[in-house]
Amino acid sequence: MAWNTDLRWRLPLACLLLQVALVVLFGVFVRYDPDADAHWVAEKRSRNVSSDLDNEFYYRYPSFQDVHVMIFVGFGFLMTFLQRYGYGAVGFNFLLAAFGIQWALLMQGWFHSYRQGYIFVSVENLINADFCVGSVCVAFGAVLGKVSPVQLLLMTLFQVTLFAVNEFILLSLLAVKDAGGSMTIHTFGAYFGLTVTWILQRPNLHQSRQRQGAVYHSDLFAMIGTLFLWMYWPSFNSAVSNHGDAQHRAAINTYCSLAACVLTTVALSSALHKKGKLDMVHIQNATLAGGVAVGTAAEMMLMPYGALIVGFICGIISTLGFVYLTPFLESRLRIQDTCGIHNLHGMPGIVGAIVGAVTAACASSAVYGEEGLAHAFDFDSAKANWNASLQGKFQAAGLFVSLAMALVGGILVGLILKLPVWGQAADENCFEDAIYWEMPESTAFHPEDPTLKPSEP
């Protein structure tokens, strides 16, 4: 199809309109949290706090920076594995995340930090905005190389909105615990993205197949993304947990789960190759499934061996998914999942939700202590008449809500994105930076690509 991929007016207009709207909304609504406001001196006195260290900043800022790296370098470079879509992977991820965090500050702010007509932001809001955008980065992985930046901005606008609603239902209405976002971020993001790419299915995508593989150095760029995601995932899962033991425990559990996941991924990758060779796609992706799958339970008393078991299982599931399920989804269900997010975020996210529900349901005061149990699940305040078993049931409900929101939302957003006016590339021009980027003149190492059609029809 001869769609017009010249974005000269559409992309600038989209960016500027969205940014102007954000400025206006921030002007009306966003103010500093007391911990970030110049009245802090008085605030300290009124809270009877003596040290500046009790400012929320010092509890969460290092974790925030790690999460920030995961969103921009981690997700951005993870997707640079394609031989001719490195600019798009890093650059569009940068664009959608920069827009998304602003919109998420508003959407999540209205639901969770809204008082007296204002949204009060602190470092915790920044982390949550990054989390919200993380789910958009996940969904981006499904449509990578097949959509225009205008479509990505639209998808981000809608997905952040739906994310905030879903998160509000889970965290506030169902009182679910999901500090690392197995449900809210990964399950929601993955099934939303898969639904969108299913709606946007491209019948002749095989015409771009020669650009769907990696080259040697693009795989190394992708490993930068993989490793920063892997290394900082303990910060991701512990960033918004309760102060003290919960943050500490979440980091330990995530560390354990991820380590185990690497070994089973390598085992399966080698076992499934006819000559026992390893596949970089598995190493780049399935090694991370352990982080996804302890997202909900990491702050709970999962125990280190419990975390190892979760990682063990998810390395296997995820690698099997890449080998058997992705080709099946593409050929039979026409779900063209560029980065295999179903294997890295979809299935491990569901596993994470189930692990979280079971771990919560099994929580006992023998393991947590009376006070510890009440503190961990807020049974000491808002949910005074709850018990662990009930918590587990609500956790399970959260999974189904997330899946439903993802499917319904994905269909609606997919249909909007399907309109042939957003500058998407033709099927035979997918996975190609030259469509949306000014390319260096001397592309010495890629002398010519005879299959590439002229980028503007």
Kindly identify the residues of this chain, within the stretch 213-232, that bind its own copies according to CB under 8 A: 213-221, 223-224, 227-228, 230-232
366's tokens: 């023998």
Name the one range near its own copies by CB under 8 A: 88-96, 331-339, 389-397, 405-413.
88-96
Which of positions 410-429 make contact with its own copies (CB under 8 A)?
none
Q: Residue count of the chain, please give it.
A: 457
User: What's the distance, CA 82 to chain centroid?
Assistant: 20
Mutual angle of helices 149-167 and 86-112, in 10-degree steps:
30
- Tell me the backbone φ, ψ of residue 189, rounded to 5 degrees: -60, -40
**3-state secondary structure (DSSP) of residue 5:** coil
Number of C-alpha atoms within 13 angstroms, CB side, residue 209? Answer: 7
Name the one range near its own copies by CB under 8 A: 54-62, 159-167, 190-198, 350-358.
54-62
Of 305 and 400, which has the nearer Cβ to its own copies? Answer: 305
- Determine which residue in the list 1, 173, 324, 369 makes contact with its own copies, applying CB under 8 A: 369
- Determine which residue in the list 78, 126, 176, 199 makes contact with its own copies, applying CB under 8 A: 126
Which of positions 333-362 make contact with its own copies (CB under 8 A)?
none
Neighbours of 17 (CB within 10 A): 11
Using the rule CB under 8 A, is 122 a contact of its own copies? yes
Tokens 């260290």 label which residue?
Answer: 53
Using the rule CB under 8 A, is 161 a contact of its own copies? no
Measured distance between the N- and C-terminal CA atoms of the chain, rounded to whole angstroms: 9
Cα–Cα distance measured from residue 453 to residue 92, given in angstroms and rounded to the nearest whole number: 22
Using the rule CB under 8 A, is 90 a contact of its own copies? yes
The answer to whether 356 and 174 have CB atoms below 8 angstroms apart is no
Least separation in angstroms between CB 349 and its own copies: 21
Using the rule CB under 8 A, is 44 a contact of its own copies? yes
Which run of H or E residues covers position 260? helix 245-271
Least separation in angstroms between CB 389 and its own copies: 18
Least separation in angstroms between CB 394 and its own copies: 19
Of 68 and 342, which has the nearer Cβ to its own copies? Answer: 68
Which run of H or E residues covers position 31? strand 30-32
Cα–Cα distance measured from residue 280 to residue 286, given in angstroms and rounded to the nearest whole number: 10
Using the rule CB under 8 A, is 98 a contact of its own copies? yes
Of 201 and 270, which has the nearer Cβ to its own copies? Answer: 270
Which of positions 230-289 make contact with its own copies (CB under 8 A)?
230-232, 234-235, 243-249, 251-252, 255-256, 258-264, 266-268, 270-271, 273-280, 283, 287
